[in-house]
Amino acid sequence: MTSLDDDERAGDRTPLDRARDEYLAHLTIERGLSVNTLAAYRRDLDRYLAHLGSAGRRDPGSVTPDDVTAFTAAVRTGSDGRTPLSEASTARAVASVRGFHRFALAEGTADADPSADVRAPNRARRLPKAISTDEVARILDAAGEGEGPGPLRDRALLELVYSTGARISEAVGLDRDDLDLDRGSARLFGKGRKERVVPLGSYARRAVDAYLVRGRPEQALRGTGTPAVFLNSRGSRLSRQSAWAVLRSAAERSGIEHPERISPHTLRHSFATHLLAGGADVRVVQELLGHASVTTTQIYTLVTPDALREVYASSHPRALG
């Protein structure tokens, strides 16, 4: 076995350096991580070892919880003289460090895990982007402007997305057999092909029916008989990218402010926000959206300070006067 003195003379490699290389080799061989993920882990650990080196640490067993906490603060603020990381990148760096120390403990190169109780800073919770019902109506109206099968399809597509809260991939994935316009329902296939049946509002039913009767047959003549509900000009299934372009174009023509903020998820977010504002139970909205956990849906229940003041002023007996 090579001695520590020999190793240090050969490039001044420390036990921390060797532990890092062994951990990265483990991730490569045993875990099979991608090249990009491994590169990110290496960058994080190189920065971490430089931080530890400046504190005089040379082996995994000498690292303390305070060292790990100080590194977390350093990457977030840039106090180590390097570029500050975003919240997401800081969380990844902390995950890299925690994995490294767990590995060192398991391999016996350290007697304790100094990162066990260290957590990344909480990431700010961002509210989904929702637009008003008036803005939704203006976009839907703009989508249907013009003659021919294109406007009929575009109006039907966006009406369906807003009516059901469907993801854009779920909407373009619809086949004819997934629709029951008589009963007013649509069968959607979400993440992992998980199936759910959702109600279809009257506006969406009329728009979809108009497209199926007066628009889709003309488009289908150019294709090879796909069962897809929404077709492109060649008679093939409409792609997600084309559906996104439909929405962006309608938003730009609608005259709403900042149409560039509109994305396919905007109508889905607005669907959930408007339902909850109208008194819908959060668990019903969870089912409609196809969320596995109600926790994901509950972000839509967060209200603005203006809404809080309005409810307080109208509800509390001594709020006014």
Q: Are 286 and 178 in contact (CB under 8 A)?
A: no
316 belongs to the catalytic site = no
Task: For residue 291, indicate whether it is catalytic.
Answer: yes
Q: Rounded distance, CA 36 to CA 103, Å?
A: 21
**Integer Rg of the chain from CA:** 28
Please state, in angstroms and rounded to a whole number, the distance separating the CA atoms of residues 135 and 133.
5
Catalytic one among 167, 216, 237, 269? Answer: 167
Q: What is the largest CA-CA distance in the chain?
A: 85
Is residue 200 within 8 A of residue 186, CB to CB? The reply is: yes
CB atoms within 10 A of CB 190: 17
Q: Which tokens sit at 248?
A: 């962006």
Per annotation, catalytic residue among 82, 123, 176, 191: 191
Nearest to 97 by CA among 58, 67, 55, 54: 67
Name all contacts of 191-199 with Cβ < 8 Å and 24+ positions apart: 191/290, 194/290, 196/287, 196/288, 196/290, 198/164, 198/165, 198/166, 198/288, 199/163, 199/164
194 is catalytic: no
Distances from the Cα of 15 to the Cαs of 4, 56, 123, in angstroms? 8, 13, 33
What residues contact residue 143 under an 8 Å CB cut-off, 6+ apart? Answer: 151, 154, 155, 157, 158, 246, 247, 250
Q: Considering the candidates 57, 92, 205, 268, report the single residue annotated as catalytic.
A: 268
Nearest to 270 by CA among 194, 278, 293, 203: 278
Chain-centroid distance of CA 199 in Å reads 25
Q: Give the whole-angstrom CA distance, residue 93 versus residue 45.
A: 8
Q: What are phi and psi of 109, to 5 degrees?
A: -90, 0
Q: Would residue 300 show up in a list of annotated catalytic residues for this protein?
A: yes
Q: Which residue among the candidates 13, 43, 102, 265 is catalytic per the annotation? A: 265
Kindly name the residue from 47, 57, 237, 291 that is annotated as catalytic.
Answer: 291
Catalytic center residues? 167, 191, 265, 268, 291, 300
